[in-house]
Amino acid sequence: MAAGVAGFYYLRDSAMVIRVVSVLTGFLLAATVAWFTVQGKQFYAFSRESSEETKKVVWPNRKETVQMTGLVFAFVVVMAIFLWMVDAGLLLSVKYMMGRGEGDG
């Protein structure tokens, strides 16, 4: 694959069709090598097993998804307000300690 991408940039003065064919050739050679190597066969088996495992997962329905999304958004808003309050409190504390309180201007 890297050779195909390198060829794409190496042939920058050539027609776009030749550059795209270079990339496609690189991908085709990579797929061929992967098909005939042990690592490629293991990857294919792993991909197939992963696909089968995702079919076994019980996915949440629409109502559950909307409820959980709302809960996450509410939590984010609460945390944002909390962190803003902590930040404002620390800012006031630092100003007070440095002698730049409200009345010092």
For residue 100, pLDDT over 70 is answered with yes
Digit-coded pLDDT (tens) for 50-90: 999 999 999 899 999 999 999 999 999 999 999 999 999 99
What the block records as the tokens of 16 is: 């776009």
Compute CA distances 15 → 3, 10, 23, 39, 105, whole Å.
18, 12, 13, 35, 68
Q: Cα(78)–Cα(72) distance, rounded to whole angstroms? A: 10
What the block records as the tokens of 8 is: 């794409």
Digit-coded pLDDT (tens) for 29-58: 888 888 888 988 898 899 999 999 999 999
Contact present, 25 and 8 (Cβ < 8 Å) = no
Neighbour tally for 8: CB within 10 Å: 19
**Predicted structure pTM score:** 0.46
Domain ranges of the chain: 2-56, 60-105
